[in-house]
Amino acid sequence: MASSIITSSKFCPFPSPPLRSSLFPRSPPLSFPPTSPYPPLVSPSFPSKSAAISSSLNPNPPSAHRRPPYIPHHIPDPKYVRVFDTTLRDGEQSPGATLTSKEKLDIARQLAKLGVDIIEAGFPAASKDDFEAVKAIAKEVGNAVDENGYVPVICGLSRCNEKDIKTAWEAVKYAKRPRIHTFIATSGIHLEYKLRKSKEEVLDIARNMVRFARSLGCDDVEFSPEDAGRSDREFLYEILGEVIKAGATTLNIPDTVGITLPNEFGQLIADIKANTPGIENIIISTHCQNDLGLSTANTIAGACAGARQVEVTINGIGERAGNASMEEVVMALKCRGEHVLGGLYTGINTRHIVMASKMVEEYTGLHIQPHKAIVGANAFAHESGIHQDGMLKHKGTYEIISPEDIGLERSNEAGIVLGKLSGRHALRDRLKELGYELDDVQLGNIFWSFKGVAEQKKRVTDADLIALVSDEVFQPEFVWKLLDLQVTCGTLGLSTSTVKLIDADGKEHVACSVGTGPVDSAYKAVDLIIKESVSLLEYSMNAVTEGIDAIASTRVLIRAEKSHVSTHASTGELVHRTFSGTGAGMDIVVSSVKAYISAINKMLGFKEKYPTKASVERTPAS
């Protein structure tokens, strides 16, 4: 995607005329502010025949770069691009993507394996549980220094008010490299309808709150003018200049509603770089939403225009249509950075991308579409006869990225076919090829599940293994576990289910119930045991492979009647927490009950750690 937008190391996107479509009326709150003229029309410059195309399949790839030392307001190597991952903050704002503290910590550990420069661990002022999760990540992941001296910056988001900023600092201060990220809206529509404040008032708040953050002892402060893409340029230059004077070390430029095109966003970054006083002493960052499907393209355009930090999420999850996808941005820079993007590079260890993607997918319950770039199930699949012929002759004919570069190996090259006679070693090797690095306990649990499936199927596929990993590894802490299930159903009477569960103390519990169907009766029996009132919001099931003997994968989304709430970062509204669960099994009712218990375990673990009253803390909006 990036190669179709950027043609040189300087910002030089294919130009287009200014937006004058009737889709964007000229009413004052919604119209774009005047911008500097777009670059003149130029012919796209393609590499000559002798120029190498940088890709992971190139026999002579660029030499590996060394990560420059971390200085909050400066990057010693002008070609290095910092990766700021906000999966745990903006990503968790996706509907139904609630994560437990354990899951957030697991994801943060995986982000550190990836080598992201900054982890935005959450919005500490949202609720007590969010605060504790950020604090736990700061204490553990924020102090895990590797042999090369790398340790991620741990960042907490805050609105521009003293309570938020102080709460964020109290959560992140335990990290070796803590950061406070504070924001306030600057566009006309937000000032008029959301904040109901004048430009002068917002300018004063931004300046004072950045200064307040620095006064707490935090020497790494990021400031974001929310909805920068629709903000008046002169006001934008002014407020950014003032927060630089107040001590901001990174200026993040968000396209909050995802409305800009790549040439517009690149020009915005270029204009900010040219017109903001003191900009040479700080880092410019991008944060692009995907409402028009342009978040990756806009992020690359911003980097080419001078931004040296990119804000991204794993799998592109986030508010509404999501954010710029980390794997897409990173692989675009890796494949095209050397020859097309002026040598831009990141410090990401791309071989951990697949595991990070799978972990986020399983923990959030947000499944990746098969054709998703880089990590989708079809990303390295070739069905067309012409494509298959080319791939057999040379993989570079139809692939610009080697799957091994992102931690994936081709099953048809591994030479391993798993069945009921396969042992632990073969299972471990195949899981490793699929991107899963498991400890002995996790492998042991999966092995017996694998044996159970292999007894009923001649051949266990990769899709089956992925479902088993999801069912055994990516699960919340054990509160209740399914031991046995017996169901009677059909056309001759009401469905009846008998369920036996075991609790954390090892005590067995049995209940029987009737319902409109086998799943309904089983869920009602579970409810009789756990004695918790929950609402089932979503239920979905898929066969992970074709055939009558396929494993069933189930996902549910629930909400407790006395649900936990947290504060939404942008709007200040209270949001009811929901909990997702997944389950897998050869029996569709067993799979369904496992998913339901998984969601309940997540909810009960959350409730036990953070009682409801503690979570309902209203924070005044800025």
Q: Name the maximum alpha-carbon separation found in the chain.
A: 79
Q: Give the model's pLDDT for residue 51.
A: 40
| β partners of residue 379 | none
Q: Which amino acid is at 113?
A: K
Mean pLDDT lowest for which of 37-41, 260-264, 403-407? Answer: 37-41
pLDDT band at 570 (very low <50, low <70, confident <90, very high): low
In the block, tokens 């400066």 appear at: 74
Sheet holding 579-585, edge to edge: 534-543, 552-560, 579-585
The kind and range of the H/E element at 486 are: strand 480-488
**96-100, 276-280, 446-450: which has the minimum mean pLDDT?**
96-100
Instruction: Give alpha helix (H) positions in 279-395.
Output: 295-304, 326-336, 353-364, 385-393
The rounded Cα 256 to chain-centroid distance in angstroms is 16
- The mean pLDDT of 80-100, rounded to a whole number, is 89
Task: Decide if 256 contacts 226 (C-beta within 8 A).
Answer: yes
- What is the per-residue pLDDT across 605-618, written as a single tens digit (0 to 9) for each? 877 665 544 333 33
Distance CA 456, CA 289 (A): 45
Contacts of 258 (CB under 8 A, 6+ apart): 288, 289, 290, 291, 292, 294, 295, 320, 321
Please compute the mean of the pLDDT values over residues 528-546 and round it to a whole number.
90
What are the pLDDT digits (tens) for 430-440?
A: 887 777 878 88
Number of H helices, E strands in the chain: 18, 16
pLDDT in tens, 291-310: 999 999 999 999 999 999 99
Q: What is the DSSP letter of 276?
A: S
More confident position, 533 or 40 = 533
Rounded distance, CA 476 to CA 603, Å?
Answer: 9
**Taking 50 as the threshold, does the pLDDT of residue 100 lie above it?**
yes
Tens-digit pLDDT profile for residues 353-396: 999 999 999 888 888 998 999 998 888 776 556 656 665 667 67
Match 């410019």 to its residue by tokens. 284
Give the separation between CA 315 and CA 483, rounded to whole angstroms: 34
Determine what percent of the chain is predicted with pLDDT higher than 90.
57
Tokens 């009682």 belong to 611
pLDDT average, residue stretch 570-580: 76
Q: What is the pLDDT of residues 120-159, one digit of tens each?
A: 999 999 988 899 999 999 999 999 999 999 999 999 999 9
Residue 56 pLDDT exceeds 90: no
Tens digits of residue pLDDT in 451-467: 888 888 777 877 788 88
Mean pLDDT of 435-447: 84
Tell me whether residue 371 is exposed, middle or buried, using C-beta atoms within 10 angstroms of its C-beta: 0 to 12, 13 to 18, 19 or more.
exposed
β-strand 495-503 against 480-488: which pairing, if any? antiparallel
The number of angstroms, rounded, from the C-alpha of 230 to the middle of its chain's C-alpha atoms is: 25
Question: What's residue 4's pLDDT?
Answer: 37
Query: 35 pLDDT band (50/70/90 cuts)?
Result: very low
Q: Name the least confident of 45-59, 385-399, 519-533.
A: 45-59
**Range in 268-272, 357-361, 432-436, 489-493 with the lowest mean pLDDT:** 432-436
pLDDT greater than 90 at residue 578 = no
pTM for the structure as a whole: 0.80
| 299 within 8 A of 5, measured Cβ to Cβ | no
Give the pLDDT confidence score for residue 82 in this predicted structure.
Answer: 98
User: Which tens digit of pLDDT belongs to each residue from 245-267?
Assistant: 999 999 999 999 999 999 999 99
**Contact (Cβ atoms closer than 8 angstroms) between residue 80 and residue 68:** yes
Q: Does 25 have pLDDT greater than 50?
A: no
* Beta-carbon count within 10 A of 366 CB: 19
